[in-house]
Chain A
Amino acid sequence: MNRLSQEKAPIYEALKKYKMERVVRFDVPGHKGGRGNRELTEFLGEDCLKVDVNSMKPLDNLGHPVSVIRDAERLAAEAFKAAHAFFIVNGTTAAVQGMIMSACKAGDKIIMPRNVHKSAINALIICGAIPVYVNPGVDKDLGISLGMAVADIEKAILNNKDAKAVFVNNPTYYGICSNLKEIVKIAHRHNMLVLVDEAHGTHFYFGKDLPISAMEARADMAAVSMHKTGGSLTQSSFLLCGERINAHYVRQILNLTQTTSASYLLLTSLDLARKNLSLHGKEIFKRTMELANYAREEINKLGGYYAFSKEIINGDRVYDFDVTKLSVHTRDIGLTGIEVYDILRDEYGIQIEFGDIGNILAIISAGDRILEIERLVAALSEIKRLYSKDKKGMLESEYINPDLVMPPRQAFYSSKRSIPIANSLGHISAEFVMAYPPGIPILAPGEKITEEVLEYIVYAKAKGAFLTGTEDIEVENINIVEE
């Protein structure tokens, strides 16, 4: 095999060539380079529609790559220092599900923290694996879930020696990292795989002075949302595999659910984003860190807010911190993060990633300029001046220890009935309830509905959180397992 240079972008180059050749199209998509849908073409641009094409010999096939996609995957693997990399076009959700379904079959155990993204628990419903939850612990002051303690994982492993894998969120949405290297050592000692949801950690592979990446920590698989901080188009992502993984089997698993009409817009965006980060990632993320650090300093000077950073590192549950995440604690000005999130959008035209009951999170990336950072800081200063109030009566902690009484899949497919959430105390939930974003379930299928859970749902709803997950679109009723 000829070694390709990181300056190459095989899918991009093949598409450019295809465009030049002016091939007559008697295949799908039916818009035929945009001619069949003028308004869309005008909106997105002719260049874009011309390369919205289907798999064909010169462009390879994502489900069975033998030429340009294979080359692009090899380049990506090299860039991320992985044994294999898969291009994913069904979102990082597909990458997370690919990891879990590759590692577990029905009835297999998997050790994971409860504050996973819903895509992980959804994978359990699809494949029938059984979660063993590890409490990630909560920072009482900030009200955020942390990473998993090494001792807790070790205990879970010793109590469940038949488990197939350990699943780690690294970093969490808020930027908190666990001691990945140590977790991998312990898991491998007990023949368990380590799967890492690295959706928010693309930059770990390219920047300097950032927490360790999953592949470097010798984890076995990692789901990397290239579109989140890496610059590719929304919905595009990478699934990385280490040496212990049979990549051919993983491909079969991915092909169970991934589209057979992979978008070349998404594939090219991954190819070019990989090239860009390989060549310029170091400077890009240096700039990102500078912007985030500047924003933190200025926000902390305002008083009332707390934009936290590396000072929360404690060697265990907060083993490391990703400084590109701009997480700001808002409760001390008497506002929930949800409220600040809404005010920023509705009153100031500033869209941030999410707000929870005590914090907001702003994503800082290569696309930001100091001008926007100044707007965010100025708006926060105004929100404090105009809206701050007494924080009495605000809900404090965030992590709710789940009472799992039935595997998620069994609960989801059991006979169930719909009752008002307010009357659901003590029943077993057959579905999810979560605020989106961040999409971390408050309640998941198979869990008992406790007083704590109900209090949290009512509070989050009253503060304006966008709740999702239930069959009932109004989130007034919940499906419970018929007992």
Chain B
Amino acid sequence: MEFWYTEEHSEDVRFSIRVDKHIYSGQSEFQRIDIFESKEFGRILTLDGLIMLTEKDEFIYHEMIVHVPMATNPNIKRVLVIGGGDGGTVRELTRYGTIENIDMVEIDELVVEVCKKYILQTAGKLEDPRVKLYFENGLKFVRSKEGEYDLIIVDSTDPFGPGEGLFTKEFYGNCYKALKEDGILVNQHESPFYPYYIDSMKRAHHRIREFFPICKVYQAHIPTYPSGHWLFGFASKKYDPIRDLDEGAWNRLNLKTKYYNTEIHQGAFAIPNYVKELLEGE
């Protein structure tokens, strides 16, 4: 028997993984949720048919979205995660004893429920006493906050569907307002490779730049995301991710990571020329 999961990375490109079992399928108010078991990638979470994570490569995404801002400002105490229903981002954050408080706002409660049941690798730390879960629209949650957070991490789906509001100017403006004076905003920033994603990537960058004096992009290699070349946005009112990186301080924490280290931290901000051109162009 042949059983393959296929995602269309573009109209003319397909990415397939041989699947052993279809473990879960459900439809929430917002999206279709599926979990597959595979030999090569372990368990796979898809939303509306698109891969959100696999057990084999999720560490790359989650380490890069969390440790880059945490190493830039070790004094981060109050964190807001928007999206991130699989719990992977929260898991990385809970490794820092210095963080006092993590608010996670996920629009879709069912994603969290399903991950807690089937993907404990990422969802295992959602019960940490510092974590508070809110099941509501991220755009709405952040609207009423002012000067409350040291770090906001936007761990969203693509901007076509329930995540759409998290790529808008009104959202970035509201995040700016919700951050403290030295706050940092990190977001998943789509891919620069296929045309379908390029526009959202460029737009997100331009919109963030309108609010934050420091606005940079860094990259990572994530095998199961379209093209494998993925970007993150780093925006801040005060800290520069390279100038203010305190390598010694982070390394003294002795956190064991699989992808992130302080050399990758610096290297990740070196981006290819074609991406630079895309970001600088209109």
Residues on A facing B (Cβ under 8 Å) = 298, 347-349, 370-371, 374-375, 377-379, 381-382, 385-386
Pair B174/A381 contact, Cβ less than 8 Å? yes
Pair B173/A374 contact, Cβ less than 8 Å? no
Name the residue of chain A whose CB is nearest to the CB of B107.
Answer: A371
Per the bound structure, the CA–CA distance linking A385 and B143 in Å amounts to: 11
Per the bound structure, the CA–CA distance linking A298 and B140 in Å amounts to: 10
When distances are taken between beta carbons in the complex, the residues of chain B under 8 Å from A382 are: 169-170, 173-174
Nearest CB on A from B214, distance (A): 20
Name the residue of chain A whose CB is nearest to the CB of B146.
Answer: A385
Partner-contacting stretch, out of B55-63, B160-168, B251-259 = B160-168
Pair A375/B173 contact, Cβ less than 8 Å? no
Give chain B interface residues in 23-70, CB to chain A under 8 Å. Answer: none
Known A347-B169, A348-B169; judge A378-B174 contact (CB<8 A): yes
Nearest CB on B from A368, distance (A): 14
Known A382-B174, A385-B177; judge A374-B169 contact (CB<8 A): no
Q: How large, as a class, is the contact surface on chain B? A: 10 to 19
When distances are taken between beta carbons in the complex, the residues of chain A under 8 Å from B143 are: 377-378, 381
Per the bound structure, the CA–CA distance linking A377 and B168 in Å amounts to: 13
Which interface residue of A349, A370, A371, A385 has the most chain B CB atoms within 10 A?
A371
| A–B pairs, 14, beta carbons within 8 Å | A348-B168, A348-B170, A371-B164, A371-B165, A374-B137, A374-B139, A375-B139, A375-B170, A377-B140, A378-B143, A378-B168, A381-B170, A382-B170, A385-B177
Nearest CB on A from B50, distance (A): 18
Give chain B interface residues in 137-152, CB to chain A under 8 Å. Answer: 137, 139-140, 143
B197 at interface by CB-CB < 8 Å = no
Name the residue of chain B whose CB is nearest to the CB of A375.
Answer: B165
B118 at interface by CB-CB < 8 Å = no
Give chain B interface residues in 114-161, CB to chain A under 8 Å. Answer: 137, 139-140, 143
B171 at interface by CB-CB < 8 Å = yes
Q: When the two chains form the complex, which single residue of B162, B168, B177 contacts A375, counting CB atoms closer than 8 Å?
A: B168
Per the bound structure, the CA–CA distance linking A185 and B75 in Å amounts to: 74
Nearest CB on B from A360, distance (A): 15
Nearest CB on B from A6, distance (A): 30
Per the bound structure, the CA–CA distance linking A365 and B165 in Å amounts to: 19
Pair A371/B170 contact, Cβ less than 8 Å? no
Per the bound structure, the CA–CA distance linking A348 and B140 in Å amounts to: 16
Pair A378/B170 contact, Cβ less than 8 Å? yes
Known A378-B143, A381-B143, A385-B177; judge A370-B137 contact (CB<8 A): yes
Interface string of B172-184 (1 = CB under 8 A from A): 0110010000000
Name the residue of chain B whose CB is nearest to the CB of A350.
Answer: B170
Name the residue of chain B whose CB is nearest to the CB of A385.
Answer: B177
Per the bound structure, the CA–CA distance linking A348 and B162 in Å amounts to: 18
Name the residue of chain B whose CB is nearest to the CB of A347.
Answer: B169
Nearest CB on B from A341, distance (A): 15
Known A371-B164, A371-B165, A378-B165; judge A386-B137 contact (CB<8 A): no
Pair A349/B173 contact, Cβ less than 8 Å? no
Per the bound structure, the CA–CA distance linking A382 and B170 in Å amounts to: 6
Pair A385/B173 contact, Cβ less than 8 Å? yes
When distances are taken between beta carbons in the complex, the residues of chain B under 8 Å from A375 are: 139, 164-165, 168, 170
Per the bound structure, the CA–CA distance linking A349 and B206 in Å amounts to: 14
Pair A378/B177 contact, Cβ less than 8 Å? no
Nearest CB on B from A189, distance (A): 53
Pair A379/B170 contact, Cβ less than 8 Å? yes
Name the residue of chain B whose CB is nearest to the CB of A380.
Answer: B170
Pair B164/A378 contact, Cβ less than 8 Å? no
Pair A374/B140 contact, Cβ less than 8 Å? yes
Per the bound structure, the CA–CA distance linking A348 and B172 in Å amounts to: 11
Name the residue of chain A whose CB is nearest to the CB of B177.
Answer: A385
Per the bound structure, the CA–CA distance linking A386 and B162 in Å amounts to: 26
Pair B171/A378 contact, Cβ less than 8 Å? yes
When distances are taken between beta carbons in the complex, the residues of chain A under 8 Å from B137 are: 370-371, 374
Per the bound structure, the CA–CA distance linking A374 and B169 in Å amounts to: 13
Name the residue of chain A whose CB is nearest to the CB of B30.
Answer: A371
Which interface residue of A348, A370, A374, A375 has the most chain B CB atoms within 10 A?
A374
The 10 A-B residue pairs with the shortest CB-CB distance in the complex, in nearest-first order: A378-B170, A379-B170, A382-B173, A374-B139, A382-B170, A378-B139, A374-B137, A374-B140, A375-B165, A378-B143
Per the bound structure, the CA–CA distance linking A298 and B171 in Å amounts to: 16
Nearest CB on B from A279, distance (A): 23
When distances are taken between beta carbons in the complex, the residues of chain A under 8 Å from B140 are: 298, 374, 377-378
